[in-house]
Structures are given as C-alpha cells and as structure tokens.
Amino acid sequence: MKKFFSLCVIFVLFGFALFAEQNYLVRAVSGKVTYREKDGTWSPVKVGMRMTDSMKVATGLNSTMVVVSGAENSIVILPLKTGSLKDVVAYSTDNNLMKNVALKN
C-alpha cells in the first residue's frame, strides 16, 4: 500500500511539472519588441523582464530578443515574429537546430 501511495504521489508531482508554464528572462532586446498586457495594450519589452509561455510577443523589422530559459539556454527570437512566447521560442529553437545541422554537414 505504501508503494502504491508513493507511486501515485510521484505521478502527480510529475504531472504538475509537465504542465507548468516555462519562465524566461529577457537578456537582450534590439529594435522594437513588444508584449501584450492583460488589458490588450502592447508595451515595450525591457531587459530583465520575466516572461511566461502564454505571453504574446511581437518583434519588428530588424528586431531581435534574447531570452534565457530556466536551464540557462539562450534563445534568439528572430525579426517579424508574433505569437505566444511558447510558439515563438519553439519556432526559433527549430530554426536554430536546422541551421546547426546544416552547418555540420
């Protein structure tokens, strides 16, 4: 019974960790980079801000943003990207991986 209870607790804790929002720290901003506030207005992103997956962001022409995940991985958000931070980071990560693979070949 104790093993079963322990196993259930482990699964519940793993489930919470799996669905937790990812937090990011903004390390650098170049050009016009904005985020959508809860009231719907767009405000400039500033270095040192903490952002979550669900926040909407937009990078302008010739604009970039560098964010750091909890694992200290730097991710560069490219120009002309709009969407939730989760989607924009996933797009940037996929493109960086493809560039790295192309460079190795």
pLDDT-derived band at 69, boundaries 50, 70, 90: confident
What does the pLDDT look like over 31-62, one tens digit per residue? 999 999 989 999 999 999 999 989 999 999 99
pLDDT-derived band at 74, boundaries 50, 70, 90: confident
Strands 42-44, 33-36: pairing is antiparallel
Instruction: Report yes or no: 95 and 78 within 8 Å, Cβ to Cβ.
Output: yes
Neighbouring-strand partners of residue 77: 65
Q: What pLDDT does 28 receive?
A: 94
Instruction: Report yes or no: 55 and 35 within 8 Å, Cβ to Cβ.
Output: yes
Instruction: Report yes or no: 49 and 18 within 8 Å, Cβ to Cβ.
Output: no
Classify 53 as helix, strand or coil. Answer: coil
pTM for the whole structure:
0.67
Q: Using CA atoms, how far apart are residues 8 and 25, in angstroms rounded to an integer?
A: 33
Residue 81 pLDDT > 50, yes or no?
yes
